Structure formats: C-alpha cells, structure tokens
C-alpha cells in the first residue's frame, strides 16, 4: 500500500465504523460481494459509502436512523467507493440499470434491486426526507 492509500484508509476508517457499528457488514472484495448476492436471501440494504460531505451529513445518518423502523431489511451491507474500488465496481454490476453514484443506497431482495436512492436524492435533501424514502421502501418490500 502506498502512503496515499494508507492515509486515505486511515482517514476513512471512522466513516466505515459509522456503518459497521450500526450493524452493517462491510464487503471489501468482489468475491465478498458475489458471495453476499448469491447466498443471502431476503431483503438487504446496500449502502455505497463515500468520503463526501453528503455521505457524512446525510447518507450514513439516514441509513442508521431508518433502522428504527418496525419493518427493516434482513441484511445490511456496505461497500466504500473510492476505497474498495473492486468491491464497489462489482456491487454496481448488480445494480443494473442504475447510474453509478456515491453515496447511494439500494434495497434489494434476493439479489434484485427493488428501490434505489442515487446521490441526487440524497444531496440537498434533509435526513428526515431520506429516512422517509427508505422507510417507505421497507414498509412496501420488507
């Protein structure tokens, strides 16, 4: 690992911890993504994490807060754009039909996307609006 990569990994660790401490499993390799998609049945919230301000102030807090809903996904996973590039690229292959954006969130069931929230529906929105977007999807699909 070069010094830049080491620095970025250190800087991003609290951003990773914010989701893993809330119960998300981090997928860091394409093989982990493939195994998750093929093995996990039921509903899953996938958060494509990033270092940007809208991830810090909106996406991660919204993802965490949405879990207080009565209905919630069976599985919680995250990949980190710009950090775990290969894992993020592989996850985006499963998000067929959706432009890559980070941060973003997908509600999936048995590997199929049921609901997708791109960066455009995170940036410039309030946490409460994003939580409502997620919980409405949970209530419909979970």
Please indicate whether residue 142 is annotated as part of the active site: no
84 three-class SS: coil
Query: Which residues are 79's β-sheet partners?
Result: 48
Written as six digits, the tokens of 45 are 């919230």
Written as six digits, the tokens of 5 are 């990569």
Task: Give me the catalytic one of 48, 52, 95, 107.
Answer: 52
Task: Give me the catalytic one of 12, 51, 54, 132.
Answer: 54
Please indicate whether residue 54 is annotated as part of the active site: yes
Phi, psi angle pair for 135, to nearest 5°: -70, -30
Q: Which is nearest to 80 in space by CA: 18, 126, 125, 128?
A: 18
Active site residue ranges = 52, 54
């Amino acid at each position: 690992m070069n010094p830049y990569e080491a620095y970025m990994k250190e800087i991003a660790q609290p951003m990773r911890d914010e989701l893993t401490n809330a119960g998300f499993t981090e997928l860091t390799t394409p093989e982990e993504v493939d195994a998750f998609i093929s093995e996990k049945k039921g509903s899953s919230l996938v958060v494509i994490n990033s270092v940007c301000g809208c991830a810090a102030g909106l996406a991660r807090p919204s993802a965490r807060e949405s879990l207080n809903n009565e209905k919630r996904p069976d599985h919680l996973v995250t990949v980190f754009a710009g950090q775990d590039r290969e894992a993020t690229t592989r996850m985006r292959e499963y998000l067929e039909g959706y432009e890559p954006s980070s941060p973003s969130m997908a509600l999936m069931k048995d590997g199929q996307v049921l609901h997708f929230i791109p960066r455009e529906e995170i940036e410039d929105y309030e946490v409460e609006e994003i939580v409502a977007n997620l919980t409405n999807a949970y209530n419909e699909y979970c």
